Amino acid sequence: MEHYPHAWEADVVLRDGGTAHLRPIVPSDAEALARMHESQSPESVYLRFFAPLPKLPKRDLDRFVNVDHHDRVALVMTIGEDIIGVGRYDKISDSVAEVAFNIADAHQGRGVGSILLEHLAAAARESGIRRFTAEVLPQNRSMLKVFQAAGYEVSRGFDDGVVAVNFDIDPTTRSIEVQASREHRAEAKSVRMVLHPTSVVVIGASRKHNSTGNLLIRNITAANFTGRLWVVHPEVDQIAGVQAYPSLAELPGAADLAVIAVPAASATAVVQECAAHGVKAVLVISSGFAETGEAGAELQRQMVSTARAYGMRVVGPNSFGLVNEAEDISLNASLAPFLPASGTLGLFSQSGALGTALLAAAKKRGLGISTFVSAGNRADLSGNDMLQYWEEDPATKTVGLYLESIGNPRKFSRIARRVSRVKPVIVIKSDLTGRELPPGHMVRTSSLAPHALDQVLGQAGVIRADTIHQLFDLAQVFSTQKLPAGRRVGVIGNSAAMSTLLVQRARAQGLHIEVEPVSLHPEVEAETFRTELEAMYAHADVDSVIVTFTPSTGADEREIAAHLAEAAARSQKTTVACFLGIHGVQDELTTYLPDEEGNRRPHTVPSYIGLEDAVWALARATEYSRWRAADHGNFLDIEDLDDKGVRTIIDSTLAEATPGRPVTLDRDRARALLSCYGIEVLPYLTAASVDEALRAAETIGYPVALKAVSTTLRHRMELGGVRLNIDDPDELREDFLAIQDVIRTMVGEEEPLVDIQAMAPPGVPCVIRAGEDPLLGPLLSFSLAGDTTELLGDVQHRVAPLTDRDAVDMIRSVKASPRLFGYRGLPPVNVDPLKNVLERLSVLVERHPQIAELEINPIVATVTDAHLLSVRIEVLPAATRIDSTRRLLG
């Protein structure tokens, strides 16, 4: 077996949506590399080697494929057995390397060079290289464009007919934006290839009416798929009325999508055959993979790696299928016995059974869908991919996802935050921390409480739902109504008791009632109801309206529903209704009004079975509308951040430690690391005796604080490990000896050490933590200090990078935050320094994934400033982040 850094290996999506495999070069690549070189045009060879070279000399070929993966690094991109691109660097000084690329002519324009550059830069940074240089012929415009478009600060020089290109490879704001934009376009196109096939082939169907493959064929046919449909079967002429062919080789054309329903053991061979015949994507309905145990998981890995290696995306395995209701596609490649109408709701499910429930609920409520995908074991195509697609899909106005797990939550949060700014994203609540996963789902786990992920998704504007019922309660509002303009709600109905309950519930959900609720007589006439409705809609202090109606001997409920539909449509104010105990008014709740072009468009008022459902849905829609309209702030943009100093401290610490194990920085290095980012810790001196303590106090100046160095007692004032406001030598002598006695008694240290530190002014002690969560990536936490906070879980979490608004929201969102803002007559503290520390730490852990854990405990917020009293930092020997500065599938 050939050895190389496996962490550099990745499956990637190319610009046109196809996939490829990227890995370090190995000696056995010599034949494929020679084959690629010999297939290149003379012009391409000249641009790469600055000379005619129809065949690589053996000496050069050997040198190209034999590298040390440190000073000399080469990455290859492959599709099947073919190399389609090579990127390499050779170290020429401690921090500089010369980089070169060679892209196969047949794959020019697919973004191969850009992806290789990203991955080479990431590998180089791991080896301490900070700058790339390259020599390029002026006519090699495509390569010059790769460097320039990558988002780095590129400088050029021209000498002796060659362009010399130089640039630092540390990520910049622009390079991160470029990478995210390219990732989005590529992954959206890859999903489009899956959902917009012009030809479909079903493999594994039989003539048995109740077989999976037979049902798939019948469903595709019944939906009137607009493309060509074929079946592969070695023995029969047709299945369910569709012509069958003995093999893929005998199809009358190439299939865009293969729907596979063969036994798991045969799936990889079928995928390999699909690759050989130009299939672009596969949908694997078959079960028997990772959900069955390790043997099935290995079959799943083989199948997916084969598909990706040959440029294909995989939906599944163990998938319920997919649906695209677009008129020009009309594809139902699923096991669903029924479908909702065409509409604007995009649905994603990881569970087959819940996929059925989602489609059934949509149909029951009269909600149309644009697309539906069941990911099954989510071995490849994921919720992240679907978000990339739905962001730009004009047919999808609302996104609903049932997620049993998220393989890359940081990426999900990053994409969802962008998508949520243009359309609502609803996620059905599940255990997404990786602790309680269904069979077949393989993710990292997080040590954080489940509510931490709720907060992270809230940061991204994602709306959480506990049940399918709640998801569709929300979808009804978003699919039929404009977003609420504000929190002011008008209430009208024919029951005073119901109006009272509604007002109480609305206020509890954060809605405002500024206009007197209208409670009409239970037997109100339809015309009176209509008049009062119009008056309610006319109020300037009403942003949305909740209407209730109970059965009576007065007006007919259908007439009331018709008046409501018309008044709501004309007003364009967000409206929800609750017709208690009444069924069959849905048709009357829809009216048709002309749009700007004169076309009649339906306008439907969503109606709910229960009052609580209507209020909850309107409240969540209002919160989302406010989030979307809010100023989300700006990312920190300052110049005094010494990343080189941080790297030096981390590297020197690891060099002195046991290889391969996390290391806690000594306190002086921890203080120095924070200082690199403009964050200063109050000075302290450590003493082992009373005389040393007295000298330290004289140096620092009274008043001082004493703190046990022992981690067991360091922040435990109630256990005697901390003494504050020591004003003179006599008091210091007494307190110092007392702390030493406590340490000896409780910890067992023979020569206890005690820190002498300047007293911070009176204020509110807080705790800030930052670091690398295995699941969520760089994460920050904020809370007030103390056992009560820890016991009650009153901690706010956010994923880095933070905007200034994110930092403020973190501080204000802890339940104990009133203590910072004048609680019970206390003077309000200045939270700006807290915000500044959070922002700087956000950048620190974003740029330095080796920081596993950083804890500032406490940071004391005062009326004027904030004072850091203690910091602890643990670093990893190598970065483990899954959503890094290089693109990869997931």
Task: Report the distance separating Cα 740 and Cα 531, nearest Å.
Answer: 81
Tokens of 278: 């130009």
**Pair 560, 582: CB distance under 8 Å:** no
Q: What is the pLDDT of residue 591?
A: 92
The residue among 498, 612, 606, 473 whose CA lies nearest residue 552 is 498
AA identity, residue 140: N
Helices (H), 540-636: 557-571, 611-629
Q: What is the pLDDT of residue 351?
A: 80
AA identity, residue 557: E
Tokens of 871: 């910091």
**Pair 84, 44: CB distance under 8 Å:** no
Task: Report the distance separating Cα 463 and Cα 621, nearest Å.
Answer: 9
Q: SS in 3 state form for 738-763?
A: HHHHHHHHHCCCCCCCEEEEECCCCC
Q: State the DSSP code for 644.
A: H
Q: What is the pLDDT of residue 292?
A: 94
Phi and psi angles of residue 769, each rounded to the nearest 5 degrees, phi first? -120, 150
User: How far is residue 821 from each of residues 311, 782, 829, measured CA to CA in Å?
Assistant: 57, 16, 6
Task: Report the distance separating Cα 771 and Cα 81, nearest Å.
Answer: 40
Q: What is the pLDDT of residue 281?
A: 97
The residue among 311, 245, 244, 234 whose CA lies nearest residue 272 is 311
> Which residues are 873's β-sheet partners?
854
> Which residues are 781's β-sheet partners?
769, 797
Q: What is the pLDDT of residue 515?
A: 95
The residue among 269, 251, 252 whose CA lies nearest residue 260 is 269
Task: Report the distance separating Cα 108 and Cα 797, nearest Å.
Answer: 43
> Hey, what's the torsion of the CAs at 461, 467, 468, 471, to 10 degrees?
-30
- Residues in the chain predicted with pLDDT less than 70, given as ranges, are 1-2, 429-450, 882-885, 887-888, 890
Q: What is the pLDDT of residue 630?
A: 94
Mutual angle of helices 409-419 and 450-459, in 10-degree steps: 30
Task: Report the distance separating Cα 207 and Cα 726, nearest Å.
Answer: 89
pTM: 0.89
Q: State the DSSP code for 240.
A: T
Task: Report the distance separating Cα 444 and Cα 271, nearest Å.
Answer: 28
AA identity, residue 421: R
- Work out whether strand 866-868 and strand 851-861 pair parallel, antiparallel, or are unpaired: antiparallel
